[in-house]
Amino acid sequence: MTPLLQVNNSPFTQQQIEWLNALLPTLTEGQRQWLSGYLAALGAVGHAAGTAGAGGVQTAATGVAPAALAGTPAAPATVSAAEPKEATVLFGSQTGNGQRLAGQLAKKLESAGWNVALCSMRDFKPNQLKNVRNLFIVVSTHGDGDPPDNAVSFYEFLHGKRAPQLPDTRFSVLALGDTSYDKFCQTGKDFDKRLEELGAKRLVPRVDCDVDYDEAAADWMDRVLEALVRLQAEGAASAVAVSSGAVAQVSAVAAGMAGTAGAVPANSAEPVYSRSNPFLAEVADNINLNGRGSDRETRHLVLSLEGSGLVYEPGDAVAIFPENDPRLVDAVIEAGGWSPEAKVEAGKSGTLSLREALLRHFEITVLTRPLVSQIAELSGSLKLKELAASGNEEAFKTYADGRDLLDLLQDFGLTGLPAADFVKLLRKMPARQYSIASSQLAHPDEVFLTIRKVEYERHGRRRSGVCSGYVAERLEPGDRVPIYIHQNPNFKLPADPLAPIIMIGPGTGVAPFRAFIEEREETGAGGKSWLFYGDRRFRTDFLYQTEWQRWLASGALTRMDVAFSRDTPEKVYVQHRMLERSRDLYAWIEEGAVVYVCGDEKRMARDVEEALIAIIAREGGKSRIEAESVLADLKAQNRYQRDVY
Ligand SMILES: Cc1cc2nc3c(=O)[nH]c(=O)nc-3n(C[C@H](O)[C@H](O)[C@H](O)COP(=O)(O)OP(=O)(O)OC[C@H]3O[C@@H](n4cnc5c(N)ncnc54)[C@H](O)[C@@H]3O)c2cc1C
Ligand SMILES: NC(=O)c1ccc[n+]([C@@H]2O[C@H](COP(=O)([O-])OP(=O)(O)OC[C@H]3O[C@@H](n4cnc5c(N)ncnc54)[C@H](OP(=O)(O)O)[C@@H]3O)[C@@H](O)[C@H]2O)c1
Ligand SMILES: Cc1cc2nc3c(=O)[nH]c(=O)nc-3n(C[C@H](O)[C@H](O)[C@H](O)COP(=O)(O)O)c2cc1C
């Protein structure tokens, strides 16, 4: 029999080759693929896929998989392929998920011996794009199908006339989103399409991730690594001509990132407690901040972090894994004609009773099209199939708006479906984020949150938000709640303690600014600070009123303007106060102030942005276009940061 490996001038001894030949037939396809890539990377194989390279070793294994195997060196120091192992990972991320995943990809690539430039889209110099050979984009979608703030300038560049042709670029996109939004993963889809239009070659198909993105993202990363190693092994580098000059240029991409803010170390250590391993934090306090007679309920939730080792910074958020309302769970079980004790699979948590699974592990309050079409398949309901059919999006949207699984089961008479199969279709319970309202310097073992209860009446039923309802109605001191810290590098106090800050945060948007001022008080930062805050009524809705007053008196907060929208016949909002203080506000910006906006994304953040543009135009004697460009520059310098939801 012809041995699978033969010696020519290979780096192996005869004995090693014999050992490898004995080993090869015992390997799985995946193991063989890996070995092929590994040998190729070592320079031991001229060409993979069974073709003997000059003076090399021939292997029957084809294709290649992960670059590292436990116990073996992660990657060889030298590679024989003509093309350097260079990759650029760009992320566009508002609340940090994409940034974290981009970091994970960079780390994996580095472990596989790749030289990686990891960079925020905002800090990436677009004129370097044409020099990038292997481009990986991780990007989320926000607003109504819009790019996250730190992706806007790159998005516009790529979709504009100045975008270069990219015939020498390979790429792949990981898109983050949420299937409950109409424009699911729109920004990722846009990047994917545009890169193809510019002539770049898709190395691995785009993956669109729902809120439970871990598995899909990990799978995409594995496929990216496999594809890259396969390219190396196949000598495909030669398919894309790369001059040695380009090597230097690609390296310059990493060196050429504007500023350092977006340059992220790929090797930051993972915390012990994380999204996949949440910490069970004890509730230390849970009080209503609104006064009697208010039509709103806002909980000041204090969680103990004792023993967790968790660290946070102002601007970060805590993510809470909530429980569904037990009354809703029981009603769903009854409507489905199920037994609460029926056994179902709940991923890593194993086999659970249906009630336990629906209480803690699965989402039952959101109807997405993918979910409804799968339920239609399971039930065979023609009416449901029609509702979820493509072309029927508007009717679906109208139906799904404000309805949950209980409505669906009842409206379509879905009873007696196999519980275990039904549960398999549900999305995992997503965690909810809450801006941190405390400084860890002042509260080393605690974290404060400001959570407003979502409550409304729709389709004849009173409904509460899953997490805010859980916190407001059922969480008591002494209870434990699964959390993790969601770092947000895009919403941070300036490094310079003397830099002025302008904080615009009506409603719960004020939460991170409580943390900012507390932190500045602790560190003795001397920079001026100005808060624009508003809510409905002065008497009942002035969150943290006494603390703001104390900080104003002590000088920790320099200035505060408030807008209570329902105390006067005409509504007054924070942007009205900003416009009234236009001259001073512009002067602060001219002095180098960083402007922060937090809270409602749909209306407030847009109107506040309009107000900022109007102020810059009016006070700076600029046209609207020029004022927009000033704001874009502020964004690029990290001097206009938003945390909006
Ligand atoms: C980075 C970030 C920071 C955040 N910080 C805070 C914070 O500090 N404080 C805070 O309170 N929240 C904050 N949020 C929002 C928070 O994460 C949750 O989205 C919020 O608490 C609602 O979650 P829930 O589970 O209670 O409601 P869900 O069960 O998720 O229900 C919310 C949904 O209910 C529907 N809905 C709400 N009101 C109505 C209505 N009147 N009519 C019909 N439908 C309606 C909407 O579809 C809405 O999306 C933040 C979000 C992000 C992304
Ligand atoms: N994504 C989610 O699941 C989710 C869940 C909960 C909340 N949210 C969002 O989070 C936002 C924050 O909620 P919140 O309860 O803290 O505060 P809020 O509803 O934003 O209210 C705070 C203050 O802002 C005012 N306001 C309303 N429209 C405004 C505008 N266009 N510009 C400036 N101010 C405006 C309100 O006035 P009036 O009320 O008198 O008009 C009120 O005085 C909500 O608007 C909601 O959209 C999202
Ligand atoms: C205010 C807001 C708006 C969003 N809009 C969309 C959307 O239009 N389409 C979508 O697919 N996902 C949308 N999402 C979901 C995010 O893309 C998803 O949470 C993603 O994981 C966030 O990644 P990031 O942390 O990197 O920004 C939205 C999320 C928020 C908070």
Domain boundaries, the chain: 85-262, 279-322+431-486, 335-424, 501-644
pLDDT band with cut points at 50, 70 and 90 for residue 15: low
Question: Does the pLDDT of residue 205 top 90, yes or no?
Answer: yes
CA-nearest residue, atom 12 of ligand 2: 600
List 597's β-bridge partners, or say none. 504, 642
Read off φ and ψ for residue 399, nearest 5 degrees.
-65, -45
**Ligand 1 centroid – CA 385 distance (Å):** 29
pLDDT of residue 21: 58
Q: Is the beta carbon of 533 within 6 A of some atom in ligand 3?
A: no
pLDDT of residue 30: 54
Question: Does the pLDDT of residue 79 top 80, yes or no?
Answer: no
Ligand nearest to the CA of 435: 1
Question: Does the pLDDT of residue 60 top 50, yes or no?
Answer: no
Ligand nearest to the CA of 450: 1
Same topology, domains 279-322+431-486 and 501-644? Answer is: no
| Contacts with 568 (C-beta within 8 Å, 6 or more apart), sequence order | none
DSSP 274: B
pLDDT of residue 58: 30
pLDDT band with cut points at 50, 70 and 90 for residue 272: confident
Torsion over CA: 324, 327, 329, 331 (sign): negative
Rounded distance between C-alpha atoms, residue 123 and residue 637, angstroms: 9
- Please state, for a pLDDT cut of 70, what percent of the chain lies above it: 82
- Give the per-residue SS3 of 502-559: EEECCHHHHHHHHHHHHHHHHHCCCCCEEEEEEECCHHHHCCCHHHHHHHHHHCCCCE
CA-nearest residue, atom 31 of ligand 1: 465
pLDDT of residue 266: 44
Question: Does the pLDDT of residue 239 top 90, yes or no?
Answer: no
pLDDT band with cut points at 50, 70 and 90 for residue 253: very low
Please state the rounded mean pLDDT for residues 255-270: 38
pLDDT of residue 55: 30
**Residue at token pair 């847009």:** 606
**Ligand 2 centroid – CA 601 distance (Å):** 8
CA-nearest residue, atom 44 of ligand 2: 600
Burial class for 500, CB neighbours closer than 10 Å (0-12, 13-18, 19+): buried
**Ligand 3 centroid – CA 323 distance (Å):** 22
**In the CATH scheme, what architecture does the domain 501-644 have?**
3-Layer(aba) Sandwich (3.40)
CA-nearest residue, atom 22 of ligand 3: 140
Rounded distance between C-alpha atoms, residue 503 and residue 216, angstroms: 37
pLDDT of residue 29: 53
pTM of the model: 0.82
**Ligand 3 centroid – CA 144 distance (Å):** 9
**Ligand 3 centroid – CA 329 distance (Å):** 27
Closest-lying ligand 3 atom to the alpha carbon of residue 185: 11
Rounded distance between C-alpha atoms, residue 450 and residue 514, angstroms: 10
**Ligand 2 centroid – CA 571 distance (Å):** 13
**Ligand 1 centroid – CA 432 distance (Å):** 8
Backbone dihedral region for residue 241 (phi beyond 0: left; psi -120 to 50: alpha; all else: beta) = beta
Q: Are 208 and 189 in contact (CB under 8 A)?
A: yes
pLDDT tens track for 575-605:
999 999 999 999 999 999 999 999 999 999 9
Q: Which fold has domain 279-322+431-486?
A: Elongation Factor Tu (Ef-tu); domain 3 (2.40.30)
Average pLDDT, the chain: 86
- CATH of region 335-424: 1.20.990.10
Rounded distance between C-alpha atoms, residue 355 and residue 29, angstroms: 41
Binding-site residues, ligand 2, Cβ < 6 A: 452, 454, 506-508, 534-536, 565-566, 571, 573-575, 599-600, 602-604, 607, 645
Quick one: angle between helices 29-42 and 214-233, nearest 10?
Answer: 50
pLDDT band with cut points at 50, 70 and 90 for residue 83: confident
- Please state, for a pLDDT cut of 90, what percent of the chain lies above it: 79
SS3 content of the chain, % helix, strand, coil (to 5): 40, 20, 40
Q: Which two tokens stand for residue 484?
A: 């993790």
pLDDT of residue 59: 29
- CATH of region 85-262: 3.40.50.360
CA-nearest residue, atom 27 of ligand 1: 465
**Ligand 3 centroid – CA 388 distance (Å):** 22
Query: E-assigned strands of 336-387?
Result: 343-345, 351-353
CA-nearest residue, atom 10 of ligand 1: 451
The vertex-413 CA angle with 411 and 417, nearest 5°, equals 130
List 299's β-bridge partners, or say none. 288, 451
pLDDT band with cut points at 50, 70 and 90 for residue 24: low
| Helices and strands counted in the chain (H then E) | 22, 21
List 481's β-bridge partners, or say none. 281
pLDDT of residue 232: 84
Please state the rounded mean pLDDT for residues 185-192: 98
Between residues 250 and 114, which one has the greater pLDDT? Answer: 114
pLDDT of residue 20: 59
**Residue at token pair 């945390």:** 643
Between residues 48 and 96, which one has the greater pLDDT? Answer: 96
Between residues 26 and 623, which one has the greater pLDDT? Answer: 623
Ligand 2 probe mutation, 95, 531, 604, 612, most atoms within 8 A of CB: 604
pLDDT of residue 538: 98
pLDDT of residue 254: 33
Please state the rounded mean pLDDT for residues 80-90: 81
Range picked from 32-36, 274-278, 296-300 for highest mean pLDDT: 296-300
